[in-house]
Structure 1
Amino acid sequence: MKQFILSLGIILVMAGCGTVDQNANGDSDENSKEATTPSIDLADFETTLNVEQTDEKATFSISFSNEGEEDADVMFSSGQKFELVVENENKEEVYRYSIGKMFTMALETIRLAPGEKLELTDEWDYMVNGEKVPPGEYKATVTMIPKEINEKTVDANTFQAETTFTVEKVEGANTSQAEEKENTAFRNINVTGENGEYTITGEARVFEATFFYSVEDGHEVIIPETVVHANEGAPSWSHFELKISIPKNKLPKNGTITAQIYERSANDDSVVNQVHVSLQQFQ
């Protein structure tokens, strides 16, 4: 009986020690995690946007800086780190950075030390739907889109900056250069519809009355390359109408549905005279 009581006591002591060790280890792990993930004040991050212009394009310089005193692990949910939108004086969107681009879906984390900046650039050739925008005042707005900073969730539109700039009328010899830059195959493109059902109308002047289109959402192709036959071939301009239907389960929760309309070169089959057409923005 005494031997049984002694054995039971030893077991209870060992169990108690195990509990103490486990709690100690748990506290140590938690403290270690806190030590390696410093708290972050999102107000310590600054977004700036500057624009430089020529007659042919606007170049946007974007900076996202850590003004705090701690290292920051900035995590992005895809290869797209920012969105840039340009609007005209009527607040109509004439350019969006993500349209026509494909981004990887892999998570990416960038560490910014105190005072360090993430610097990015983008260019716009003043074109919308195959035509150069008219002279006037334009507003550019950039939004940095990290998902988390030091494991702290970042809400949409937390980091934004904007600037205004003027697209000047090109005079003299440069006018002909600007006209040559305009798309020679497609013009007067318009889009109607929403939620997966869209109609694109416009005019095409294409070789052998043939051109192509595809649709994507910035991450994957939704409608692969599809051939279209216009009523007449070049040099005549021919009206066209595209009916595009996308299943509801293929519409993105976030992102832009974009159609690419283009020709293929008769020489080497490369894509030429491409126009990016925004069908719908999902947020």
Structure 2
Amino acid sequence: MRPFKISVIVFLTVCSVLFLLSACGKEQGKLKGKQGEVSSQLNPVLSIQQRSDGIDVLAVLENHSNHMVTLSFNSSKMFDVTIMDSSNKEVFRHSKGKNYEKKQEDVHIKAGASHIWKTKWELSAASRKAGIYRVSATFLPHEISPGSLKTERLSVEEVLTLQGGSEEKENKSFRNIHFSGKDGTYKVSGQARVFEGTFVYSVSDGHNIFVEKNEQIVEGGPDWAPFLFEVHLKKEDLPINGTLMLELFYYSPKNGKKSDTLSVPLQTFK
């Protein structure tokens, strides 16, 4: 009987250990899942405000979870903001020319709350160039608790449609730009001085390009030559709230990139 009792006791002990290990494994799995869920509910947002002295950019992280989230940084450089024009040229970078200190710093974001970082693209009215720009913000923590950086989308991008002064209607390749019309039908005229007398015009709302066409003038540079064309958009393509921008440019024969872009707001819809 004694060997039998010992076997039963050993069997029950092994079962108990296996049960506890299984339970612990499940609990750890739940915790890992929970951490990922908390971490994935950090939502990056950009708020862009045009002012008389420049462009204010608010880079925001919203905590949509029901837990406090801690972001740990190993530098005073916690975020960066870049602004690119339609030719993919960088016109502003928040971190440019700044010296950052190497130090450990934590940012705590309570459940349902947010943390805001601010920067400004200083731009006078005289130097403001109309066009469509891409504003990007990137957040730079080296650790998130609870959660994992792998589950995060710690960057966000928005489109900025910038309107210049009314006097801004020329550059080295285009001048004397005039346009008329509304609600999808526009007539555009002016003068161009471009390589081989060919340039491109496009119309977009910052998200979608509705028209992009080549235009041929009677002669190429260095002489100025007149042009006239009409733009026709479908009614369903017109933005409910936004600006239609006309861009005049040419593709450089040297590198194939957009050159001498002149942007003109055709119509703003509200």
* TM class by smaller structure: 0.3 to 0.5
TM-score, normalized by length of structure 1? 0.43
TM-score, normalized by length of structure 2? 0.45
